[in-house]
Amino acid sequence: MLDATLHDLIDPRTTSHFYLDGRWVPAAGPERVRVINPANERPLADVALGSAAEVDRAVQAARAAFSDWSGRTPAARARLLERLHGLLTQRSEIFAQVISREMGAPLAAARALQVPLALEHLRVAREVALNYAFERSEGTLRIRREAIGVCALITPWNWPLYQITAKVAPALAAGCTVVLKPSELAPLSALLFAQAVHDAGIPGGVFNLINGDGPTVGAALAEHPEVDMISITGSNRAGVQVARAAAATVKRVTQELGGKSPNLLLPDADLETAVAKGVLAAFRNSGQSCSAPTRMLVPQAQLAEVERLAAATVASLVVGDPPAPATTHGPLANGAQFARVQELIESGLAEGARLICGGPGRPEDQPVGFYARPTVFSAVTTDMRIAQEEIFGPVLCLLPYGFVEEAIAIANDSRYGLSAHVQGRDPDQVAAVAARLRAGQVHLNYPAWNPCAPFGGYKGSGNGREYGVHGLEEYLETKAILGH
């Protein structure tokens, strides 16, 4: 079953098929998952779920294709990535329409962010493959960087295409073959991606797609002895389960997991700019980004002004139907996430945080759909759940501090360490504070997104890095040849 609004965008047959060894193969079993449009809570599609046997078939196809694919020159692989990039560019509007429907992104945001940023990963991977030194000499020592092998890639629902290209592009550029398991909650853009891979002429078995849930397909991939590496973006719980399942076969595991990123406003920060941009950064993609700076650390003396500026920025947001041109924020991506966000908003109220705007429930003009009210809490302390747990929704916490040393301690008081922000006028002080933050990325005064900047976390935010050269190297082994 496929919603009528999608019939012109996606082949309805693919929802009951998997892409294996270069062709669409009917799912063997009857298991299906219903994909829900979060804007109206109506069914979009029933998508087949795979089994361990189908995972094995996909892995064997990837294993059979590995020798030829890894043996091709980087330039040959780059040419196919360029062709794939061209096809996705041509189909960008189709992808934007599907992403908007399956996970609720405003159509304008899908067009401006979800799809273009995904395309950047393909472009960068191609360029890295063309310029990377896969071999180099150090006297009589020869160093070779070789593709690790068959890679299982597990991607989430919040940036569905973006997360796929962030993993698939460098893996293919490195010479690996892959089995992709996209989120079963937003799998439709992945089906479109698989068709583009096919149309680009990438050889059979190099890329394979199995839809499925974590306990079945995810576990089968993590445990499979013929999978050499598994890369997962998801929750900490899922990351731990994958690592445990993978341990018995000693495969490489990279994890991009949760975050609770601080945004430290130094006493000399330009509040008019820093607060407005900070609210928008925290609420980008309706707050459903692991790197969202959802803890804003504010000098105590400036807290009242920050509250005023934050409330004014929230008042300018338009929560509404994703296709509407005026909409800045759509619904949360699914019912489970909506329920979690509501639970944590109620927790903030119960623990004594001061509600500045928003709060529990849907906006008054949105009685249907998984719409959350953009919410700002102030007077938040580090022992509150909303200061420690990843909410993954449009909820910002204002945490006051007395002096900069205290602010640094608050920023680092988290089990996460994915990203951090620092705002201030003195570049030397900004840089000095950044050096002391335990995070994989630190953004100074809201710089532009950089697709080559390594992305990954400290502590509970995972291990390994994605994007650019560092992302490519995660898919490579190092071989030393002595006496060359």
CATH of domain 4-257+462-482: 3.40.605.10
- Beta bridge partners of residue 455, listed in sequence order: 466
CA distance 128 to 120: 12
- pLDDT tens digits in sequence order for the chain, 484 residues long: 788 889 889 998 899 999 999 999 999 999 999 999 999 999 999 999 999 999 999 999 999 999 999 999 999 999 999 999 999 999 999 999 999 999 999 999 999 999 999 999 999 999 999 999 999 999 999 999 999 999 999 999 999 999 999 999 999 999 999 999 999 999 999 999 999 999 999 999 999 999 999 999 999 999 999 999 999 999 989 999 999 999 999 999 999 999 999 999 999 999 999 999 999 999 999 999 999 999 999 999 999 999 999 999 999 999 999 999 999 999 999 999 999 999 999 999 999 999 999 999 999 999 999 999 999 999 999 999 999 999 999 999 999 999 999 999 999 999 999 999 999 999 999 999 999 999 999 999 999 999 999 999 999 999 999 999 999 999 999 999 999 7
Residue 174, C-beta contacts closer than 8 angstroms, at least 6 positions apart: 129, 147, 148, 472, 475, 476
Q: What pLDDT, on a 0 to 100 scale, did the predictor assign at position 8?
A: 86
Query: How do the domains of the chain map onto residue ranges?
Result: 4-257+462-482, 262-450
Q: What pLDDT, on a 0 to 100 scale, did the predictor assign at position 7?
A: 82
- Count other C-beta atoms under 10 Å from residue 73's C-beta: 12
Query: What CATH topology corresponds to 262-450?
Result: Aldehyde Dehydrogenase; Chain A, domain 2 (3.40.309)
Q: What pLDDT, on a 0 to 100 scale, did the predictor assign at position 152?
A: 98
CA distance 175 to 475: 8
CA distance 246 to 243: 5
Q: What pLDDT, on a 0 to 100 scale, did the predictor assign at position 3?
A: 87
Catalytic residues: 256, 290
pTM (predicted TM-score): 0.97
